[in-house]
Amino acid sequence: MSGIVLTDNARGGANLLNVGNEARGVMTPDEALDKAGLNFTVELRQCKTEDGKLMNGIAGNMYTVRTDNDQVLGNGLSKGYGIVQNQTVANTIIEICGHAGATIERIGSRKNGASMFCVAVLPQEYSVMVGQEDPAQVYMVFQNSHDGSGSLKITFTSIRMFCQNQMPMFSREAQIKLSHTSGINNKLFSTVDGVLETVRKSIQSYEVSYNQMLDTTIDREKSIDLIDYLIGSKMGMYNNADGEKVLKYSGKHENMRNKIIENLDHESNNVDNMRGTVWAVYNAYTYFIDHQRTLNSTTGELKPEGRENAIFNDGRRKRERAVARCLEVC
């Protein structure tokens, strides 16, 4: 990210640069694991009855446990559940990052170590450029779990530098997703080269799409119509102060709608003549998703659960849907 300065209002939002622990300069797998409190091993154990007998012949009679403190991480698992140790994941991350020229930025855990993630920034050659002055840096995201909640995944996403809005993940072809079966460790590293090449090609496609949004002008009224579509605003009958039924947006949608409309005039939308374009509407919406959706009323900061949801779950789906709809408008 050389030559790019993050704005103050971009810090603290719900993107990959604000989760977990800072890990710049990490050189060894042990250093990475120590940063995130992940330097432990996991065992797959068989459930026992109250009198200490092994439960045989029952589906889902296995569970995973941390060996450092015997804390249960996941249950209802099968005998064929394949554990990928944190040490193995860390070794692979270090090796892949070295191979790709990537630099580890963040590493962290969730649910008391039941899942982990690591974020690495790819070299400048992988960056996405919208117009002449609006860069987005591409990141590689590693995710693993020990509780049966998900596959081991390596995915790619980009973050717009001027506002720290996280952009959609790349296509399914530009990711590695491995189920926790007994052969998982042998499959992990073999597919990385092909995926990196797919990412390189995907970047070209994303640049075309984002620049198409930048080149498409849209007036204020149609911008608000597009915002209404993206947030799913629906008018209904509500009681006013006099107890009369009136047609209006719900309080939740009205607040969301007003903030996104205000974001159309946000300073980050002054870049490269983007004001009054579909690109500006898209970024006004994603700024709300990443920075404003679940704020603590006391501190004004994003709640931890909102931060994780915006990054890993619902927020990702909303960004993908927004890109598709905005391109339909172009």
The DSSP code sequence of 276-322 is TBHHHHHHHHHHHHHHTTTB-TTT-SBPHHHHHHHHHSHHHHHHHHH
For residue 310, being part of any structural domain is answered with: yes
The reported pLDDT for the residue numbered 15 is: 55
The reported pLDDT for the residue numbered 213 is: 94
The reported pLDDT for the residue numbered 303 is: 56
Place of tokens 């579509």: 229
First to last CA, the chain: 30
Q: Are residues 201 and 226 in the same domain?
A: no
pLDDT tens-digit readout, 80-93: 888 889 998 888 88
CB atoms < 10 A from the CB of 8, how many? 7
For residue 223, being part of any structural domain is answered with: yes
Contact by Cβ (8 Å): 41, 87: yes
Q: Are residues 22 and 56 in the same domain?
A: no
> Where among 150, 171, 205 does a domain terminate?
205
For residue 1, being part of any structural domain is answered with: no
Q: Are residues 169 and 287 in the same domain?
A: no
Average pLDDT of every residue of the chain? 78
Q: Are residues 237 and 196 in the same domain?
A: no
For residue 294, being part of any structural domain is answered with: yes
For residue 234, being part of any structural domain is answered with: yes
For residue 155, being part of any structural domain is answered with: yes
The reported pLDDT for the residue numbered 215 is: 94
Q: Are residues 31 and 46 in the same domain?
A: no
- Edge-to-edge strands, sheet with 42-46: 42-46, 62-66, 72-77
At 114, the amino acid letter reads: A
For residue 168, being part of any structural domain is answered with: yes
Q: Are residues 15 and 130 in the same domain?
A: yes
Q: Are residues 97 and 159 in the same domain?
A: yes
Range of the domain at 56: 42-77
Q: Are residues 168 and 281 in the same domain?
A: no
Model confidence, pTM: 0.76
The number of folded domains in the chain is: 3
210 burial level (CB within 10 Å; 0-12, 13-18, 19+): buried
Q: What residue ranges of the chain have pLDDT lower than 50?
A: 1-14
Place of tokens 């920075």: 291
For residue 240, being part of any structural domain is answered with: yes
Q: Are residues 178 and 89 in the same domain?
A: yes
> Where among 24, 51, 77 does a domain terminate?
77
Read off the tokens for 186.
């042998």
Q: Are residues 250 and 287 in the same domain?
A: yes
Q: Are residues 187 and 277 in the same domain?
A: no
Read off the tokens for 225.
């119509």
pLDDT tens-digit readout, 251-309: 677 888 889 999 998 777 777 688 899 999 999 998 888 777 765 555 555 555 555 55
**H-only helix segments in the chain:** 29-36, 86-100, 184-187, 192-215, 220-231, 251-263, 278-291, 304-312, 314-329
Q: Are residues 132 and 189 in the same domain?
A: yes
Contact by Cβ (8 Å): 154, 175: yes
Report the alpha-carbon distance of residue 79 to residue 82 in Å, rounded. Answer: 8
> Where among 205, 232, 264 does a domain terminate?
205
- The DSSP bridge pattern shows strands 134-145 and 128-130 to be antiparallel
